C-alpha cells in the first residue's frame, strides 16, 4: 500500500491559525494567494497528477487552472481548522430537514476527497454521533494542532490502523447504536477492499467497504459531497441509496458503488477544481 504525502506543514498551519486569531478570516483568505503561488512553483508532483486528472476531463491544463486548483485546496484546508473554532461563521446550503431525517438514524455516510469534506463534520447540525473511519497520513505537528483545538463535538475516529477485527467491531457497534459511520468512497486501505469501475473514461479503484457494510448490516447509504462556492460558503449535495438486498451481495454492492461513482463524475464535471486526490488516481498499483 502506498501513501500520498500530506500537504502543508505543522508550522505553516499553526502560523496561519495564529494569524487568523489576530487578524480575522479575510486576512487569511487573501493570504492564501501568495501561499498558493509558493506551492504553484514547488509542488511539482501535484502538478503532474493534476495533468493526468484534467486529461481525463478533456480540459486543457493551463497555469491558471493549476493555480486556481491549488488555491481552492488551500482555502478548504484553512476551513478545516477554522470551522472547529468558529462554525457559526460558515454557511452550508442544503435541504436541512431531509438531511437531518437521514442522519438521525444509523447511516453509512460515503464521503470523498473533494471540496470541503473535512469541514462539514465540524458544522453538522445532527445530534447523532458521527464515527469517521480513516487512516489519514497526518504529520504529528498537524495532528497536534487539531487536537489542541478543544471543541466538544459528537465526532469520533475509528482508526484503520487498529486492525481489521477492531475496526469491524467498532463499526458494527456504532450502527447497532443507531449512529452514523462515515467512510471515504474514493480511497481504500488495501487492494482487497477495492473494485475497479469506469470513472471519467478509464477504470479506477474505489472502496467497496461502505457498500459491503451497508449490505451486511442492512443500513442505508448517504452519498455526500461538500462543494465550495465562495468565502465561507459551501453547498451540500447528497443522495440516499437503499442497497438492494434482493440481489446477491456482489451484484448489489457493484450496483450501489456504480451510483456513487456516477454521482461523483457529475459533481466533478460541474466543479473540476475541487478534486483533492493529488496522485494518479487511475494508477492500478496506487492504494491509499
Confidence of residue 97 (pLDDT cuts 50, 70, 90): confident
Mean pLDDT of 138-167: 68
Q: What integer pLDDT is reported at residue 127 of this predicted model?
A: 82
Q: What integer pLDDT is reported at residue 8 of this predicted model?
A: 52
On the question of pLDDT at 136 being above 60, the answer is no
Q: Does residue 81 belong to any structural domain of this protein?
A: yes
Mean pLDDT of 196-219: 95
Q: What integer pLDDT is reported at residue 150 of this predicted model?
A: 53
Q: What integer pLDDT is reported at residue 154 of this predicted model?
A: 77
Q: What integer pLDDT is reported at residue 11 of this predicted model?
A: 66
Q: What integer pLDDT is reported at residue 142 of this predicted model?
A: 56
Q: Count of alpha carbons within 13 Å of 101, Cβ hemisphere only?
A: 8
Q: Does residue 288 belong to any structural domain of this protein?
A: no
Q: Does residue 282 belong to any structural domain of this protein?
A: no
Cβ neighbours for 100, distance < 8 A, ≥ 6 positions apart: 125, 126
Cα–Cα dist 110/163, whole Å: 21
Q: Which domain holds residue 201?
A: 10-274
Q: Which long-range contacts does 95-100 make (Cβ < 8 Å, 24+ apart)?
A: 96/125, 99/236, 99/238, 100/125, 100/126
On the question of pLDDT at 266 being above 60, the answer is yes
Cα–Cα dist 12/142, whole Å: 9
Q: What integer pLDDT is reported at residue 51 of this predicted model?
A: 98
Confidence of residue 137 (pLDDT cuts 50, 70, 90): low
More confident position, 139 or 254:
254
More confident position, 23 or 85:
23
Q: Does residue 4 belong to any structural domain of this protein?
A: no
Confidence of residue 30 (pLDDT cuts 50, 70, 90): very high
Geometric angle at alpha carbon 111, from 121 and 249, rounded to 5°: 135
Cα–Cα dist 41/23, whole Å: 27
When mean pLDDT is compared over 38-42, 136-140, 269-273, the highest value belongs to 269-273
Q: What integer pLDDT is reported at residue 139 of this predicted model?
A: 46
Q: Minimal CA–CA distance to 31: which of 66, 82, 86, 65?
A: 82
- List, for residues 155-196, the tens digit of each pLDDT value: 888 888 777 788 899 999 999 999 999 999 999 888 889 999
Q: What integer pLDDT is reported at residue 4 of this predicted model?
A: 43
Q: Does residue 5 belong to any structural domain of this protein?
A: no
Mean pLDDT of 136-145: 54
Mean pLDDT of 144-164: 70
Minimum mean pLDDT range among 26-30, 163-167, 198-202, 210-214: 163-167
Q: Which residue has 478548504 as its cell numbers?
A: 76
Q: Does residue 285 belong to any structural domain of this protein?
A: no
Q: Does residue 280 belong to any structural domain of this protein?
A: no
- List, for residues 58-71, the tens digit of each pLDDT value: 999 999 999 999 99
More confident position, 118 or 281:
281
Mean pLDDT of 217-226: 95
Cα–Cα dist 229/227, whole Å: 6
Geometric angle at alpha carbon 51, from 48 and 55, rounded to 5°: 150
- List, for residues 228-251, the tens digit of each pLDDT value: 999 999 999 999 999 999 999 999
Domain count along the chain: 1
Mean pLDDT of 196-225: 95
Helices (H), the chain: 10-23, 25-42, 44-57, 63-85, 96-103, 117-120, 140-148, 164-176, 209-217, 249-270
Rounded to the nearest integer, the mean pLDDT of the chain is: 88
Q: Does residue 204 belong to any structural domain of this protein?
A: yes
Amino acid at each position: 500500500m502506498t501513501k500520498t504525502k500530506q500537504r502543508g506543514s505543522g508550522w505553516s498551519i499553526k502560523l496561519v491559525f495564529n494569524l487568523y486569531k489576530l487578524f480575522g478570516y479575510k486576512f487569511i483568505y487573501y493570504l492564501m494567494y501568495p501561499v498558493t503561488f509558493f506551492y504553484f512553483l514547488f509542488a511539482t508532483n501535484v502538478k503532474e497528477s493534476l495533468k493526468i486528472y484534467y486529461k481525463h476531463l478533456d480540459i486543457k491544463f493551463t497555469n491558471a487552472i493549476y493555480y486556481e486548483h491549488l488555491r481552492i485546496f488551500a482555502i478548504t484546508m484553512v476551513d478545516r481548522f477554522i470551522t472547529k473554532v468558529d462554525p457559526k461563521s460558515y454557511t452550508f446550503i442544503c435541504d436541512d430537514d431531509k438531511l437531518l431525517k437521514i442522519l438521525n438514524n444509523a447511516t453509512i455516510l460515503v464521503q470523498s476527497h473533494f471540496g470541503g469534506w473535512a469541514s462539514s463534520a465540524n458544522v453538522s447540525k445532527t445530534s447523532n454521533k458521527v464515527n469517521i473511519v480513516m487512516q489519514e497520513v497526518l504529520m504529528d505537528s498537524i495532528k497536534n494542532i487539531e487536537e489542541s483545538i478543544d471543541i466538544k463535538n459528537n465526532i469520533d475516529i475509528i482508526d484503520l490502523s487498529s486492525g481489521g477485527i477492531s475496526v469491524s467491531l467498532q463499526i458494527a457497534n456504532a450502527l447497532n447504536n443507531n449512529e452514523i459511520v462515515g467512510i471515504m468512497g474514493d480511497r481504500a486501505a488495501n487492494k482487497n477492499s477495492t473494485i475497479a469501475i469506469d470513472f471519467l473514461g478509464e477504470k479506477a479503484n474505489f472502496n467497496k467497504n461502505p457498500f459491503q457494510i451497508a449490505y451486511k448490516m442492512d443500513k442505508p447509504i448517504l452519498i455526500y459531497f461538500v462543494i465550495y462556492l465562495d468565502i465561507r460558503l459551501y453547498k451540500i449535495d447528497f443522495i440516499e441509496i437503499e442497497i438492494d438486498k434482493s440481489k446477491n451481495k456482489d451484484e448489489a454492492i457493484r450496483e450501489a458503488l456504480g451510483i456513487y461513482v456516477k454521482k461523483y463524475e457529475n459533481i466533478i464535471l460541474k466543479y473540476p477544481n475541487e478534486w483533492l486526490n493529488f496522485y494518479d488516481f487511475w494508477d492500478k498499483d496506487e492504494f491509499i
